[in-house]
Chains A and B, each alone.
Chain A
Amino acid sequence: MGCKEGECRFTSGNLRARKRVEQAQQILDKIGIGGERVQMFNLSSAEAPRFVEIAIEMTEKIKQLGPNPIKLARQKKAA
């Protein structure tokens, strides 16, 4: 979660964070974990209801995507 673009008190911290999240997404896609498991949202600290919305949205998304494939691979190997 980062501040709304244009409202970062450190000017560009949230913009840099977005670029780094995009990098992480690309890496996760390339190694087969899936970049959609990481996502960045921009909101202000005063937007509590939006925070709740996002938390619910991400939880639902992750539940749909299922467990981390590495976890599954490890369980399969242990079995």
Chain B
Amino acid sequence: MIIADRKPIEEVIDQVKDFQKILIVGCNECVTVCEAGGKKEVGVLASAMRMYFMNQGKDITIDERTLERQCDNEYLEEIRNIIDEYDAVLSLACGVGVQFMAEKYMSKPVFPGVNTCFLGVTEERGVWTERCQACGQCILGLTGGICPVSRCAKRLFNGPCGGSTKGKCEISKDLDCAWQLIIDRLKELDRMDDYEKIMPIKDWSTERAGGPRKVVREDVR
């Protein structure tokens, strides 16, 4: 899922302090799971902002709404009949949702309430780590399910570099060497033949470096 982190409240307030009626919109998917932008976080943020503005003597209306997702038209439509009541929208969705909201409601200023960080997993409650960089050409079948693009600091494709020491990456002793993990996993799976296969130079054009990307499925259009 997409992992995001809450923006500092002072930064959020600074973005919207000149508006009179603000709608805070949360998202029920990834940002709920990583506890950054779900219904609960919307509630806490709205309450804190109301208290802040009251303390300043400002009469600002802050309302709350949480949509199932903000990356699908059907869900964004749900606020069409109320959005004109507001001067600004503070979206706690990931960057995708904020942008789609802004595209859909072009005359309404939309501000982000979270910083979108990476694609990752919940290792334990409160700890999220990166797993995928959406390179567009998944080779996880050959690496025992461990990604060298997102987890190797050098994004190497054919084994560890000389800096790999005692299973750790040379950039930090807290970082596992991805290739050590891959080799250990392939050994457990009895698939060390995959390690011996030389991977050719990667076609990076499907990665973000090749420009903004698009997927089209003619069969479902």
Contact = CB atoms under 8 A, between A and B. Distances in A.
B9 A31 contact: yes
Main secondary structure of the interface of B (DSSP, over half): helix
A69 B51 CA distance: 10
B140 interface: no
A32 B57 contact: no
A77 B51 contact: no
Interface residues of A, number: 11
B55 interface: yes
B51 A33 contact: yes
A36 to B, nearest CB: 15
Interface residues of B, number: 13
B219 interface: no
B57 A73 contact: yes
B57 A77 contact: yes
A65 interface: no
A77 B58 CA distance: 9
A76 B57 CA distance: 8
Contact of B9 (A27, A70, A76): A27
B51 A30 contact: no
Contact of A74 (B10, B44, B52, B54): B54
Contacts of A32: 52, 55-56
B9 A73 contact: no
Interface of A: 27, 30-33, 69-70, 73-74, 76-77
What 5 A-B pairs come out closest when comparing CB atoms? A31-B52, A70-B54, A73-B57, A32-B55, A30-B9
